[in-house]
Amino acid sequence: MERKGDFISNIRYKKETEIVTFQGKEITLENLSPVFTPEQEAAKRRELEQQLYEVFRKYADKRQSEEAGA
């Protein structure tokens, strides 16, 4: 998996197309979903878990400080 900045290159996408009617007009909606290899999926999961941990730790530390001061 190549990384360029915060983006993973060489990702394939699954395209879903749907035609919906809105206010009397037909609109074509296209949804692109990334299709990851198992290795890419694991790397993205680790990255997300690390980011969530950092957010949790930030707020847990802040809450402990507030409780200690109360």
The pTM assigned to this predicted structure is: 0.49
Residue of 30, 12, 38, 69 whose CA lies nearest to 61? 69
pLDDT tens per residue across span 13-70? 999 999 999 999 999 999 999 998 899 899 999 999 999 999 999 888 887 777 777 6
Boundaries of every domain in the chain: 3-69
Supply 42's token pair: 């694991």
For the chain, the farthest-separated pair of C-alpha atoms sits apart, in whole angstroms, at 60
Distances in whole angstroms, Cα of residue 19 to Cα of each of 9, 23, 30: 30, 13, 9
Please provide the average confidence, as pLDDT, over all residues in the chain: 86
Supply 45's token pair: 């999961």
Q: Which residues pair with 14 in a beta bridge?
A: 33
